[in-house]
Structure 1
């Protein structure tokens, strides 16, 4: 895991991020109380959506900042927290797009308000509409909140403007990736389209932007900031490709995710794109995208994906992306601690089980 590769100072920074987030949501709940109990409940649901998770993005911000500034500061913690707030917003919106009502084994924002609608006597359809509308609003509020946190940083105007530009760009690019992901559903996209979608939807805001933002706040040069963007892009693609493999071949006990959901949903990953062009695909294709897919049908799909060579091809691409990241890290003029942490992180992308 990425968190395990970073310096111990980042662990203490992680505690500070948790404390900042607690304070952020407490202040929003206090404001919401002026507008009624339902609005408070919306913010409670948003706050709970930010709980747990790997906290990869804040760790990357703090690691990059500490590498160039020498240590974490209150402002680096604020910046790191802004990326976690933004990540929560994207998760909330992503669940709406996917019509999911559960995340991490519990009702998500949409799920909570859908259940409330049912309890108030709404039809299932109206209750789900209410839940999704509530989640859209929560995600919008969190994006605005993340931008405000960055805008209020105590930093030189030039630095603050650069940081706002990085956050704005990663939101812009992530939305392009999400839109492409929706468009690709059921469209049998090819390798180029899928990789472009991953770079936009995941790699930009999860890896490149946090590394670049932390480095900018820490005083890194423009050349190093650009190089960190390249490193983050390779790491982000490798990380997502590993996620896609774990979504089909992982252990639910380790990942906390069903190995049926991606197959039932018909998620158009690179794994599927590679398998689809093999003659064996026709033997199991009817199960892909079937919401009633059972364990037997899923096992059949996994065997076909394996025999088609798709799994091995994705593994090789993960290795190639990690190697590209290591090459870029070696070529960058990075402080020793960050160089080492990112190099180890590249290795974990090939090996992680969750």
Structure 2
């Protein structure tokens, strides 16, 4: 290497250092850009427990989106705690089933957070009510980032719970992130499968998918022309007379005082009408057989979605995977029926796999 080249490299070194410093400053500014306004009053669909302390927290995912969460910490505990992040159902918010799961597990000694996914509820992200199998999987790992760096948490004992559509996303997150030591998928949907194939795989053909793709592409054009996305519609206010039972079950949860929440997508206008686009070509279960850590799949015996959980379980490998079928339970019974949700089993599962 001649002297001219060496001199040029030396001359560049301060510039490189300065660029790194500027980059770090920019990253810090970016991380502080999205300031969320969080509700201060208790606005959950379940009563507040006097056994845990509740606070609002925020954290940022890998895409720079600020996520909002409720953190539940058991009272009168010392030392580092095991921790669990909870999300779901798909189209719900943390004030509904996820919060109930999180608060209940905190009562049992875990530090927990229930978070709103990107673009939804109190979390950030624009445009609103967008879904993404990639970003929503990342949301779970961002929750793990937050928990792993919390002074109250043992970073080697972190798990996740995904409910409904977030059960499938939880399994996908477990396949991507080995920091997740144990995963519970409760009353799960495989959102890729149902969007690509229809219910019970009734539309599992290239012809059917191409018809759907053309419809979604036309909607994209309309959304761009209008300057805003069309809502996809949540659970309807009034059910048709021939509505299937699982639609009636959704209505009984999202449209009544049992589970209605003003920020819930399913309680209101739903996600964007183009929500199926990314899921059609994104198979969530594609790496499920590579998950080394523990997974518990829970489903209701009478749930219309039971086949999602059973087929996901078939893909899992190893002797630390379990399938639990709850006798007589429907899909939505595992949202909030505390006498039906197997919290004893969930607690034991996490304790045994956090050792």
TM-score, normalised via structure 2 length: 0.30
Higher strand share: 2
Which has the larger Rg? 2
TM normalised by structure 1 equals 0.30
